[in-house]
Every structure is written in structure tokens, then in C-alpha cells.
Amino acid sequence: MSSDYPMFEQRTKDVVVRVEPEYLADQSSPAESRFIWAYTVEIDNQGAKDLTVTDRFWQIADSRGQVQEVRGKGVIGEKPVVKPGEVFRYTSGAPLTAPSGMMRGSYTVAETDGESYDIDIPAFVLDSPHEGLVLN
């Protein structure tokens, strides 16, 4: 992960989640209040057991106060197994109707022995270059 945007990181137990957001100017249309973001997530298993990502929860808030929650099974249509010492990486996207916002959430992971728990996704900001613009 390396872009002009900051990377956000959060540790829960032996799992580190890193997120790097990126504003997609070519897919966005500020005149139509459409601001599209991609975000790349890394799930870094620094523990001793295999982890399966079984569920996800996202809270997406925009700068106008609109909040949406997204819950679902796994990530990007799969339930990846992240072995000790491995990093699972994927990229997804989020549309906003305001120039900026923030996202945060959690994953539920299951260890091979059946124990499951939530790991935190760090809160990260989505600040487009259009935040200061006023469109009339």
C-alpha cells in the first residue's frame, strides 16, 4: 500500500487491520453529489491460529450527517482464511453523496478451534479535494 493518502491501522489481539482510502476522481461527479472512494484493506494475522473472516460490519458517515450501516457475510463475496504470518488484502469501494465522510467497522473472525471474536477496523477519513467547494 502506497499512495498519497494516509494509512490507518488498528490492532485487536494478534490481528492488525490496515486501511488505505483513495478518492476516485475519474468516477466521481461533484456536480451530481457523487463522490466515489476505493479503500484497500489488509488483515495481518500475527497470531498462531488460522482465522476465517466470517462477517463484516461497516458504518459509513458523510459530512452532512447521513449514516449508513452495512452488514454481511465475509468480505468481497468470500470468507478468506488468513494463516499465521499471512496478510489478506482486498480493495472495495464506497459512494458518498457529500464531499467527505468517514468509515469504521469490524470483522468477525473464527479461529480453527471454533472461537470467534470481533476485530476492529480503524476509523478512517474520506476527504475529497472538493470539501471546500460550494456548488450553486
pLDDT exceeds 80 at position 6: no
Cβ(42)–Cβ(1) below 8 Å = yes
| Phi/psi of residue 84, nearest 5 degrees | -55, 130
User: Does residue 79 sit within a domain?
Assistant: yes
User: Does residue 1 sit within a domain?
Assistant: no
Q: What is the pLDDT of residue 4?
A: 61
Strands 51-62 and 8-12: unpaired
Cβ(74)–Cβ(54) below 8 Å = yes
Q: Which of 95, 92, 104, 99 shows the shortest CA–CA distance to 128?
A: 99
Domain, as residue range, for 43: 8-126
User: Does residue 134 sit within a domain?
Assistant: no
**CATH code (residue 46):** 2.60.40.1470
Q: What is the pLDDT of residues 12-63, one digit of tens each?
A: 999 999 999 999 999 999 999 999 999 999 999 999 999 999 999 999 999 9
Q: What is the pLDDT of residues 62-81, one digit of tens each?
A: 999 999 999 999 999 999 99
Q: What is the pLDDT of residues 126-136, one digit of tens each?
A: 988 776 544 43
pLDDT exceeds 60 at position 108: yes
Residues 6 or more apart whose Cβ sits within 8 Å of residue 81: 50, 51, 52
CA atoms within 13 A of residue 34's CA, in its CB half-sphere: 8
Domain total in the chain: 1
User: Does residue 136 sit within a domain?
Assistant: no
Alpha helices for the chain (secondary structure H)? none
Beta-strand ranges (E) seen in 5-129 are 8-12, 15-23, 35-45, 51-62, 67-73, 81-82, 87-96, 100-111, 116-127
Q: Say whether pTM exceeds 0.75.
A: yes
User: Does residue 3 sit within a domain?
Assistant: no
User: Does residue 131 sit within a domain?
Assistant: no
Q: What is the pLDDT of residues 76-106, one digit of tens each?
A: 999 999 999 999 999 999 999 999 999 999 9
User: Does residue 67 sit within a domain?
Assistant: yes
Q: What is the pLDDT of residue 127?
A: 86
- Distance from C-alpha of 44 to C-alpha of 73, rounded to nearest angstrom: 19
